[in-house]
Structure 1
């Protein structure tokens, strides 16, 4: 049985060695010409380049994850209604819930797709660097490449060093700091999604419980396993987290889920933009010129022609009024 799983693991991981090594060496071929083949900067930047390529390739899965996550949030009120209606019958509740997910095009597991796909790549990179530290080649890496990668240093520590395997205290400090950054970015990435893009009525349902579980379990997993990760792998995962944070920020800011803090913030920004356009634009208030208005005419002196004023009658004395009245009667 153990041999069977070992063969399956080898079948999956071997192609990944080739894919990762091809991308990694592609970046290193360019960066090595600038920093040097054995430079830690060239290898570290090559790992960052590898991360960007992988995350860019996973954008379709990320879009699917965002859509599924939003659908999960929007159907939570209906899920709660089903729970109230069929809470006594767990089998019927499960059937009705799956029917609701199918009708709304919601996949409860889609939110984990990028993580699930990344894990084999993460493991392959981990083993590739680990084997390089032992002088073993994988993928297209040559013996010279392996020696350069194994010896390459950043901030005084080898890229292949681990927290538990390092003897130098300065290397342990650097590895520990990088692990803390990796854990913090993992936590903040999940926290960003929950605090900004989840409506209030979705914070108490089953989906919210799953998100809270990921919020605390993932950092814990990386805290425990991170002490055995090579610095290069920690660099990969931290870069991946930063990519996710920026990607989520863009999506949440420009296309937030309804009835969320991000949605209200976008409405406020849109209202402010409309207000500015209304005041400052050519069609805004104060900027409209009446089509039928005629320019004031001038009489050579530049003064506008005034309408004729009504002439007031002259005042008369009593004797004048009597005489006038008498002449009129005569």
Structure 2
């Protein structure tokens, strides 16, 4: 995996070092700028994914009606759903494809923050070493809070609300021993996602589902 991701790791590491050398001689600020850079580059994929999800939400009632109508005939159901997707010009995998393209970048970014030697001696605000866990757990708390907000903003089904409360707690325990640099990236990513979801909701509001026939 490391070999496959090496070109991306090298590029991200170069960008991080570039920000340190030419913008702000602080790796904490460099991580923030690198995170924003990555999210800006991936923004077109995010928009594509959002549009695809909206289209799927519009037709969910009709899809459920089809599934109910042909629930005892799986072969007929597959044919009807394929025809339905073609009629509405929907690719059910379109929402997954942008996410799959983003995953190598996020894995590579994790490897950079985990293994980049200068981070072990780099300080940022109250943190003496970005290569070690946050001694005061402030970033852990910020990560939990921003993860909750990110999850809560995406909930469309009230039954899923419990996930928004449980997930941050679980991630909090898992992340206690993570390097502060990784947690800083995580917090900035969550803050970006919160702002992004707010803006997306303005430009691409949640549609009123079409009634099933």
> What TM bracket, shorter-length normalisation?
0.7 to 0.9
Rg (Cα) greater in structure: 1
2:53 to 48, 69, 73: 69
Contact 2:51 2:204 in 1 (8 A): no
Equivalent residue, structure 1, for 2:179: 230
Shift of residue 153, structure 1, vs aligned partner: 1.4
2:68 is the counterpart of 1:84: yes
2:118 is the counterpart of 1:157: no
Contact 1:13 1:124 in 2 (8 A): yes
Residue deviations 1:159-204 (CA, integer Å, cap 9, x gap): 11126xxxxxxx1x2xx33123223323322321335xxxxxxx49
1:14 to 6, 24, 35: 6
Three-state SS of the structure 2 residue aligned to 1:77 is: helix
If the length of structure 1 is used for normalisation, what is the TM-score?
A: 0.55
Q: Which structure has more RCO (C-alpha within 8 Å, separation ≥ 6)?
A: 2
Three-state SS of the structure 1 residue aligned to 2:23 is: helix
Which structure 2 residue ranges, 5 or more long, are not aligned? none
* Pair 238,83 (structure 1): closer, same or farther in 2 beyond 3 Å: same
Q: For 2:168 and 2:75, how far apart are their aligned partners in 1?
A: 34
Q: For 1:44 and 1:223, how far apart are their aligned partners in 2?
A: 21
Contact 1:126 1:229 in 2 (8 A): no
Q: For 1:215 and 1:89, how far apart are their aligned partners in 2?
A: 36
2:7 is the counterpart of 1:23: no
Contact 1:71 1:104 in 2 (8 A): no
* Structure with higher helix content: 2
Equivalent residue, structure 1, for 2:88: 104
Shift of residue 27, structure 1, vs aligned partner: 1.0
Q: Which range moved further: 80-89 or 43-52?
A: 80-89
CA RMSD of aligned residues (A): 3.0
Three-state SS of the structure 2 residue aligned to 1:247 is: helix
Q: How many residues are paired up? A: 208
Equivalent residue, structure 2, for 1:53: 37
Equivalent residue, structure 2, for 1:43: 27
Contact 2:28 2:181 in 1 (8 A): yes
